[in-house]
């Protein structure tokens, strides 16, 4: 079984994850752009029972455009967002792909909130056609 490790920039908040993600996605919503400081957010979703959490996290909550509540967990020392949970997907944890620091991490298979995608961002050629999907 695959074990992956994810951590904030300073390493204080870190996760150990057993097994494969149930979904790997990219989000183009404006809120994810603001949260990451990038034009896209990439995340891998896991069942909560696959994840072991270590370190201290600060929480921040907001309501997504979908209407679902989101809770983000970030390091109180370096500020890196490491993972989040959505009311729309109870029992699952989304982990920021960049926190794995693994250039071989699998590519996203779905894109959401494409109506706010920057026109110069190219999607992988095998990304499914645009569809309305829940954010989070």
What is this structure's pTM?
0.81
CA distance 45 to 17: 11
Report DSSP state, residue 100.
Answer: G
Instruction: Report residues of the chain scoring pLDDT below 50.
Output: 131-135
Sheet holding 23-27, edge to edge: 58-63, 69-74, 81-86, 92-96, 41-47, 23-27, 110-112
Can you list the domains of the chain with their CATH numbers? 3-102 (2.170.150.70)
Q: Is 67 left (phi over 0), alpha (psi -120 to 50) or beta?
A: left
Q: What is the pLDDT of residue 107?
A: 86
In this prediction, residue 133 carries a pLDDT of 45
Task: For residues 2 and 78, give the distance between their C-alpha atoms in angstroms, rounded to a whole number.
Answer: 28
**pLDDT value, residue 55:** 98
């Amino acid at each position: 079984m695959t074990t992956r490790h994810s951590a904030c920039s300073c390493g204080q908040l870190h996760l150990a994850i057993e097994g494969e993600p149930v979904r790997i996605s990219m989000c183009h919503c404006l809120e994810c752009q603001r949260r990451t400081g990038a034009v896209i957010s990439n995340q891998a979703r896991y069942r909560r029972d696959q994840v072991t959490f270590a370190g201290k996290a600060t929480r921040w909550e907001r309501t997504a455009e979908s209407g679902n509540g989101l809770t983000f967990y970030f390091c109180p020392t370096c500020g890196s967002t490491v993972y989040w949970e959505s009311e729309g997907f109870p029992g699952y944890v989304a982990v920021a792909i960049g926190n794995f620091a693994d250039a071989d991490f699998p590519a996203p298979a779905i894109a959401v909130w494409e109506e706010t995608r920057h026109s110069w961002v190219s999607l992988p050629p095998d990304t499914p056609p645009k569809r309305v999907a829940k954010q989070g």
